[in-house]
DNA sequence: CGCAGAACGTTATAGCTAGAACTATTCAAG
DNA sequence: CTTGAATAGTTCTAGCTATAACGTTCTGCG
């Protein structure tokens, strides 16, 4: 029987499903808030990650997506007048992303909505700290 | 300053990014193994979740995706001769998904590859148990 | 029984995503 | 200084994904 042969492997598979499940719930949570601002989920996610000026690559890393996808999303945010692409002061290959005044305003309203009823709030502060530690280790960032 | 205004909210945002990051790493891990079997990542994920006969809805739930997407993926798996759609014995709306002999074989080889060097193996058994508990609670399944 | 509401699965559509190929620029080794 | 490798960003394309709408079947309630 499979269950008796590889119990360890089964646990790993379950965790994969749970991680995907939580990621999906978080994306749905973002999407539900984003529509109120006429944004799609990835656009809102990008806006959330733009806590300060950064390059396209930085944004792609923070969103865990490929640079080509960051280009796609920033194109739309720029068209909406929420983000600007500025030249990088020392690296002529790179571009610095900066929020416009409207972008700053929309981002503030977005963050306020995102903090309400997030799936993560099902966990206590202590549990959130533990989860953060485990995710840091699992992703190899710690 | 933002950091002083809402430290709690910032922690939540970091967890969102970490969950997405781990989910992405897990998908990359699946994709890298899947290509050896001429499968795409979602096809391999579906095959992994097909531990036994189940309906389209069950598969969609296990994959955390919409039913329309499950239709898309199962169409391809059926075309590859790995999965069959059979009528449900008591519910004429539903269909039962069953692996073909070749599907069973491919799935076994897939599972063997997936257990090797998964990002989750960066955690100890004990840590994996803790992570599983927290994810169950965060997703509202426990 | 009969009907309203819900559930299962599919289709069509619009939008998101990764990968490969490309240009321009930077970095590192000689 | 110069050349080869690496990096930043974009474009193009194929494929994945969610949503809405639909037909079919089931379920609960009167």
pTM of the model: 0.94
Spacing of B98 CA from C19 C1' in Å: 32
pLDDT (average), residues A4-25: 86
Residue of B2, B8, B22 to mutate for A, most A C-beta atoms under 10 A? B22
State the pLDDT at residue A7: 67
| Chain segment A43-100, per-residue pLDDT in tens | 999 999 999 999 999 999 999 999 999 999 999 999 999 999 999 999 999 999 999 9
Residue A11 has pLDDT above 90, yes or no: no
Please tell me if residue B6 touches chain A, with a CB cutoff of 8 Å.
yes
Q: How confident is the model at residue A9 (pLDDT cuts 50, 70, 90)?
A: confident
Statement: residue B9 has pLDDT above 80: no
Q: What is the mean pLDDT of residues B7-21?
A: 90
**What's the confidence (pLDDT) of residue A56?**
98
Residue B17 with chain A: CB contacts under 8 Å = 49, 62-64
pLDDT, chain B, mean: 94
Least confident of A2-11, A115-124, B67-76, B96-105: A2-11
Looking at chain A, the whole-number percentage of residues with pLDDT higher than 90 is 89
Q: How confident is the model at residue B141 (pLDDT cuts 50, 70, 90)?
A: confident
Q: Does A28 touch chain B (CB under 8 A)?
A: no
CA distance A77 to chain B (A): 20
Confidence tier at A6 by pLDDT (50, 70, 90) = low
- Residue A5: the pLDDT is 52
Query: What percentage of chain A exceeds 70 in pLDDT?
Result: 95
Instruction: Name the token pair of A61.
Output: 């890393």
Which tens digits make up the pLDDT trace of B39-87? 999 999 999 999 999 999 999 999 999 999 999 999 999 999 999 999 9
Does A1 score more than 60 pLDDT?
no
Q: pLDDT band at A2, cuts 50/70/90?
A: very low
Tell me which long-range contacts A35-44 makes (C-beta under 8 A, separation of at least 24).
A36/A113, A37/A106, A37/A109, A37/A110, A39/A80, A39/A106, A39/A110, A40/A76, A42/A69, A42/A73, A43/A73, A43/A76, A43/A77, A43/A80, A44/A110
pLDDT at position B3 over 80: no
Q: Does A115 touch chain B (CB under 8 A)?
A: yes
Count of beta carbons in the 10 Å neighbourhood of residue B20: 21
The shortest CB-CB distance from B20 to any of A15, A64, A121 is to A64
Helix axes of B41-49 and B67-79: crossing angle, nearest 10 degrees? 100
Cβ of residue B79 near strand D, that is under 7 Å?
no
**How close A74 comes to chain B (CA, Å)?**
18
Distances (CA, A) of B65 to A25, A111, A116, B25, B60: 10, 26, 24, 18, 5
> pLDDT tens digit string along B90-131?
999 999 999 999 999 999 999 999 998 999 999 999 999 999
Structural element, H or E, at residue A91: none
Residue B114: predicted pLDDT:
95
Q: Say whether pLDDT at B4 is over 80.
A: no
Contacts of A14 in chain B (CB under 8 A): 132
């Amino acid at each position: 029987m499979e269950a008796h042969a590889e119990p360890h492997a089964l646990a790993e598979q379950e965790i994969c499903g749970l991680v995907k499940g939580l990621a999906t719930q978080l994306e749905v949570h973002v999407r539900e808030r984003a529509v109120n601002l006429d944004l799609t989920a990835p656009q809102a996610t990008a806006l959330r990650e733009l806590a300060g000026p950064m390059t396209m690559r930085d944004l792609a890393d923070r969103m865990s997506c490929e640079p080509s996808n960051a280009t796609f999303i920033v194109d739309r945010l720029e068209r909406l007048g929420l983000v600007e692409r500025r030249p990088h002061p020392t690296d002529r290959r790179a571009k610095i992303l900066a929020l416009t005044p409207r972008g700053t305003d929309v981002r503030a309203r977005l963050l306020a909505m995102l903090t309400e009823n997030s799936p993560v709030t099902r966990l206590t502060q202590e549990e959130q700290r533990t989860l953060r530690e485990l995710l840091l280790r699992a992703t190899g960032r710690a």
